[in-house]
Structure 1
């Protein structure tokens, strides 16, 4: 996808044109006599940018109409004099207590009717005209004061929109939701049809009868179409709030770039960021690692989506952590090498900015035990040494010309759709264990295990540049979506459709005639198969917990009961064994392949473990597009400017891994954690190799 013309923030002085490096800086939380020491240590660490003032509204406006910019003037001046750029926040993410006390109507309401009180972050309603008025006033005053300041090189509007206030059930939100429904549907009859309102006698006679999906009782089930539209409205309402803030700042200083930080990781993606990306001058993201075996793979998967949201151009890592966080049941620290490895993995995936939360670790408050660049124990620590090493490495990459290059695309795309993610969370599906985003992650890992790397793209993306497109649990497909798929395959593309893809349309209406029913049967025609029921297993007393799939292990959750099979379908695998016989699935197709037009489609009608999906990729999918896989121990990502190729190799295992790396005379070694013996390179655990060579030498 393509966002608006990118307007990238320029760094100061010698850092101009290089990779941005730094983090959130909260000087107002510390005595002013620490500021000079902060800047001294920032220079030592190679910091060249900080995000400033994100939660500083109460320091800027300590009482209604009383403004205090003096401290902000001083610290911006000190940073600028030191050659450190400022990404200045609008400071509107959380309001001061006086605003909540004076105007309690700005607070959001949860689905139970309880007011969401102040005291944390984002305790405000995007439907509150009072909050909007005060937020825009603050944006305007900041822009007028600092819009021309040379040290302020970008604007950071809000912060993690929707983190604590994604859903609001207040009366103001109800009014806005009714207006949103009227704009979307035009007539109440169209709304009733989309929501299937005749069910349970819920037909509306006017838009004034539209309700929010509030709490309806312990055993009540919300209309899924209503819930889905409320998700869409909440996204659009928050985006509209951001646009109002952005536009006020732009009206004062139109040339300075504006962004807001997305939250893309495979454990969180609360907004439909494909709709947000066109509204920022450069895409930025906050990412926090998933501990354990998923650590590197999950990072690469999330970044693949961010890179696509950025229009395949460089993007800005606004936050990640030097080590542990403080908001999980078990907060794992990073081992030696992981701080550097993670930063470089983000860079490999297109990040031209590497920033942490935060610069100095807080002494108190809710995030006191969240790691930082400068930890509680001070500068003579492993974390600070690794912070400095990372800054030096990024500076070397900048001098080598990496900034501004773009990621070399894959030939394989895995589709992510925020609205399908929202849909799989609806509790009235055949199972509550579906998770679209996690299935995207599993398919991404599938290809890594098979020795190749995939891209992750939004559903609305152009697929013409890909040889293979995978749709994992894309539950919801509109007729237009299916028509695009049909054209892609008919013209020579290849698709993989899994067991829970294409079950409902954009209004959560089930397609008729068999599964998957999307596109009025067109999807079934492409796949050459049709199912009539779903077999859900696992945790049922006295019943088999799994069904064997011949040649591909076992399915432990979902098997589509395929009954209709076209004559020209090739059965790749069928159900077999005791579990299949018990569930009357013996011999029923589990994986099917079907030629369609000039292309082909595969239906994977059951869940499979990642290693079994990798077997399918290696034996069937990759050969079909003329690719060969590998061991999958090392992941290789490339960035290029057309003339030069930067190759990043990462060890995916927790032990030393050897790889073939012929030594070329025109190859420049930029960063290496491992050892070389001739043409064999051994990457240590958490090891990496970064080289630069002419693009004409690409292997």
Structure 2
């Protein structure tokens, strides 16, 4: 289990001290000082009580190697403090100044082709560069010395979105660091060769100085997957080490203020092993940007569920989201009426006690000029700014929610960042696997059944759940399988999805049949054994395979050739596709009693509606789960005295809900005496005694 730093929440100033933090990134150095008083006046009008300051200001703070300029930062911090707006002060190390790159070009990271990641965007530096480390830590120390005792600065924001542009570095500095990392992990080249199966393709090394990075090897070359997976782990650890070094440099001078860095968790990105990173911050922070379309709310809730779990159910900090459209997608949709407020309140319902946007004032130039902001190009007399003010007022009214805990579900969906990395390796039975997307699909299927699940890191505690789901955990360590076995033997229930438990944490296949991890223990628990994977998609062949329970598979079928006598086949392959691929009658979904618990194996991909039906027909009756209204999602936050019931319309059409008599704190819909009609994007929040 991971050990966390003690949870410490940043305080707010003035009358906001016990409420929800509200604000965003503020970049006053990008504007003339004549604009600053208007910014602060409008911040107060919008209810802003916190800003993240100086995130990309290294060049302004240190315009030359021996020149420092803190005067402008002194002035804006003083102005914000007078307005009771607290500052989450950045280390400013996310983007190094151009003069530093010019003097030390060896500080640049490189891509797998050997090309320099040139300066001009963000994070062009190598995480393994001692030169970058030296200059970054000097900046951290100077900031801590100057502002450590400043009462307006209530938290530290180290770096920014680590790994956004330099997650993978193939420089010579990285090579030296990777060799040292491998030596620390394995201790001997014999153990490394065994873990990497280095005898294949004559890849055995005789010393750690022969260890290579998985650089470009040719257009059709295939990287050793164990080597690639270790490179992913090293890359994560190298960036985490950068964060920890900066954190410790600040904390040595300013030990009494909490320190964080912003993660990037949404279901289209989760680059780092954030369960590991979560143990190194004083409070968890995340940047989340919405998925336009019908999955908008569901995806937000799924991502937030993982963030809440990483935060160990402590309140967490939404460091960035958008008021409307962004500028980095091929098509950048704006938010519709009610979505700005709805999204903010959904984050609160899922445990966020800080709601912040990128950014305060929309940039007039640069790469993010068309990224929406709290104060848009058109100014304060706009629909968007009025929604920003409405959101600030709503969050102020919900101040009692701050500090409460999201009530857990009885169902946990397991997520593992390293297993996600494993599904991105190109030498698999198919390149169409995506562990995180399958987590999202299961999460949405539970919502479609009127239930809410929790997304939980595999490395965390999950034994308290009545049911666990393992979707496409392609890589599953033997120790994790043994832990799951103890859970099931003791009365727990698990659903194991297709492409789960295929390789162990050294990316090696256990022999004897699929799924093989745990030296066959996973097969024993499930009561099944498979010999091959049938992958659909070849031109001129059947595009899907039907299941006898009405389901349909479009990608992967594990060819189960043995099931135990005490196992029960719940669905088998049937129809024309099954005949073509010689799957007719072969088990597809199998249930099995094991010890005091129960397992289900789903040996193929199925549609979301098929998962929902399986939840309703199989899981809910067996586990005793009470199905709810799939048109809404209900989330409770509670403390010792009160429960705050948060209900969101996820249907896109009007939903009428009966009021229970509990005090209504907020309703966005048409309210009658005994009922409320939630329109699209509608929200209802009630409070009751616990």
**Matched residue, 1:458:** 457
Inter-partner Cα distance in structure 2 for 1:357 and 1:463: 34
Which one of 653, 675, 683 corresponds to residue 688 of structure 1?
A: 683
**Matched residue, 1:663:** 660
1:662 Cα deviation from its structure 2 partner: 3.5
1:653 Cα deviation from its structure 2 partner: 1.6
Q: How does 1:199-278 map to 2 (within 5 A)?
A: 199-278=200-279
User: How large is the Cα RMSD of the aligned pairs?
Assistant: 0.9
1:677 Cα deviation from its structure 2 partner: 4.5
Contact residue 463 and residue 488 of structure 1 kept, 8 A? no
Inter-partner Cα distance in structure 2 for 1:159 and 1:225: 29
1:658 Cα deviation from its structure 2 partner: 2.5
Deviates more, 1:224-233 or 1:582-591: 582-591
**Matched residue, 2:519:** 520
- Aligned residue for 1:292, secondary structure, equals coil
1:670 Cα deviation from its structure 2 partner: 1.1
**Matched residue, 1:592:** 590
Cα offsets for 1:133-171 (capped at 9, x unmatched): 000000000000000000000000000001000011111
**Matched residue, 1:333:** 334
1:587 Cα deviation from its structure 2 partner: 0.7
Q: How does 1:152-171 map to 2 (within 5 A)?
A: 152-171=153-172
- Aligned residue for 2:398, secondary structure, equals helix
The reply to whether residue 496 of structure 1 matches residue 495 of structure 2 is yes
The reply to whether residue 323 of structure 1 matches residue 327 of structure 2 is no
Cα offsets for 1:365-404 (capped at 9, x unmatched): 0000000000000001111000000000000000xx1100
Cα offsets for 1:109-128 (capped at 9, x unmatched): 11000011000001100111
Deviates more, 1:460-469 or 1:297-306: 460-469
Which one of 575, 579, 597 corresponds to residue 577 of structure 2?
A: 579
What TM-score, normalized to structure 1? 0.98
Ranges in structure 2 where 5+ consecutive residues have no aligned partner: none
**Matched residue, 2:608:** 610
- Aligned residue for 2:334, secondary structure, equals coil
Inter-partner Cα distance in structure 2 for 1:423 and 1:359: 38
**Matched residue, 1:56:** 57
Contact residue 2 and residue 309 of structure 1 kept, 8 A? no
Contact residue 51 and residue 86 of structure 1 kept, 8 A? yes
- Aligned residue for 1:461, secondary structure, equals coil
Inter-partner Cα distance in structure 2 for 1:410 and 1:688: 20
Number of residue pairs matched by the alignment: 689
Inter-partner Cα distance in structure 2 for 1:167 and 1:542: 38
The reply to whether residue 307 of structure 1 matches residue 302 of structure 2 is no
Cα offsets for 1:666-699 (capped at 9, x unmatched): x22111111244544321001010111111xxxx
**Matched residue, 1:560:** 558
- Aligned residue for 2:317, secondary structure, equals strand
Which one of 654, 657, 668 corresponds to residue 673 of structure 1?
A: 668
Inter-partner Cα distance in structure 2 for 1:341 and 1:215: 46
The reply to whether residue 645 of structure 1 matches residue 643 of structure 2 is yes
Inter-partner Cα distance in structure 1 for 2:373 and 2:603: 45
Inter-partner Cα distance in structure 2 for 1:571 and 1:352: 46
Inter-partner Cα distance in structure 1 for 2:170 and 2:581: 44
- Aligned residue for 1:544, secondary structure, equals coil
Cα offsets for 1:473-531 (capped at 9, x unmatched): 01111110000000000000000001110000001001110000000100000000111
**Matched residue, 1:630:** 628
Contact residue 343 and residue 354 of structure 1 kept, 8 A? yes
Contact residue 85 and residue 152 of structure 1 kept, 8 A? yes
**Matched residue, 1:29:** 30
Q: How does 1:107-506 map to 2 (within 5 A)?
A: 107-398=108-399, 401-506=400-505
Contact residue 552 and residue 615 of structure 1 kept, 8 A? no
Contact residue 618 and residue 628 of structure 1 kept, 8 A? no
Inter-partner Cα distance in structure 2 for 1:271 and 1:344: 26
1:628 Cα deviation from its structure 2 partner: 2.3
What TM-score, normalized to structure 2? 0.99
Inter-partner Cα distance in structure 2 for 1:655 and 1:381: 27
Inter-partner Cα distance in structure 2 for 1:412 and 1:316: 24
Inter-partner Cα distance in structure 2 for 1:679 and 1:531: 56
